[in-house]
Amino acid sequence: MINTYFRHLKKRSLYEDVASQILNLILEEKFKTGDRLPGEREMAETLGVNRGTLREALRVLEFMRVIEKRVGEGVFVSAGAGGFGVETVIFRFMSEDGLDAAALTGAHEAVTRIEGVMAELAAQRISEGELEEIGGLQRLLEEAVETGEHFTALDKEFHLLLGRAAKSPVLLSVATTMWVIMERYAMVLFGLRENRDKCIADHGKIIEALAAGKPADSRRITEEHFLWARRALFEEEENREL
């Protein structure tokens, strides 16, 4: 049951928001591997926070191996940023007794952003062979829609194929890790036939945008797909509580 996954809602700390903003810039390749981040004073002023809060955020990102501090040189995007360990990312979202509601929201926001960027890049970089492979997986999903058997695993593979077509190792690595967190919630979501049907329809629109080479449409449709999934998931929980 989905309600067994929720825990007491925790207020998100300011330093976590700052860490998330910096991480998003790296995921979107505004800062790439080896790039030096702006100085503390400049970043703090730009983000509208004090330097203490910024340092807390940087400590989190350093723990996650996203950045590295070099004495006398500054803060750099780590060479390991493309290989976030599953254990470090899950640590950021998990408590000892499971995933809480705030963490689930944060994880889903991250997945939505990452998947959207991957879809945008894929529309620019996808090969004919990759497009055919994604189309083949869509057909397998259509075959699985009646019973739901293996539907979640196929849906996950659909999105990871999209990630590979984006040809961004950083994004694909993070997306793969985030699916470790999100997969069990997807199983709840796809327990309903109507949600499986909606998923198939959305995938069809994504494929059309990819085939047409429309990056903006690919991103928009993908993000809308994940926002729908979030709403449907929480509506399912509310219905259980009535």
Q: What is the tens place of the pLDDT at every residue in 174-228?
A: 888 788 778 878 988 999 999 999 999 999 999 999 999 999 999 999 999 999 9
Domain identity same for 171 and 156: yes
| 51 neighbors 41 (Cβ within 8 angstroms) | yes
DSSP string across 55-84: HHHHHHHHHTTSEEEETTTEEEE-GGGGG-
CA distance 165 to 131: 8
Low-confidence residues in the chain, pLDDT < 50: 1-11, 83, 86-88, 91, 94-98, 240-242
Residue 5 lies in a domain: no
Domain identity same for 76 and 95: no
CATH code where residue 161 lies: 1.20.120.530
Retrieve residue 102's tokens: 């705030």
Domain identity same for 179 and 217: yes
Domain identity same for 28 and 99: no
CA distance 53 to 91: 20
CB atoms within 10 A of CB 141: 20
In the prediction, which pLDDT does 101 show?
60
**Of 105, 120, 240, the residue nearest 185 (C-alpha):** 105
CATH code where residue 71 lies: 1.10.10.10
Domain identity same for 107 and 196: yes
Distant-in-sequence, close-in-space partners of 145: CB < 8 Å, separation ≥ 6: 151, 193, 196, 197, 200
Residue 54 lies in a domain: yes
List C-alpha distances in Å: 170 to 26, 176, 213: 9, 10, 22
Residue 2 lies in a domain: no
Domain identity same for 24 and 116: no
In the prediction, which pLDDT does 241 show?
46
Q: Tally the domains of the chain.
A: 2
Domain that holds residue 77: 14-83
CA distance 44 to 56: 12
Domain identity same for 171 and 79: no
Identify the DSSP state of 13: P
**Among 27, 57, 83, which residue terminates a domain?**
83
| 187 neighbors 203 (Cβ within 8 angstroms) | no
Residue 164 lies in a domain: yes
Helices (H), the chain: 14-27, 40-47, 51-63, 86-93, 101-125, 128-144, 151-166, 169-189, 193-211, 215-241
Domain identity same for 77 and 151: no
Residue at 30: amino acid letter: K
Residue 107 lies in a domain: yes
Residue 160 lies in a domain: yes
Domain identity same for 74 and 169: no
CA distance 89 to 106: 12
Residue 3 lies in a domain: no
Domain identity same for 22 and 126: no
Domain identity same for 93 and 213: yes
Residue 1 lies in a domain: no
Domain identity same for 205 and 127: yes
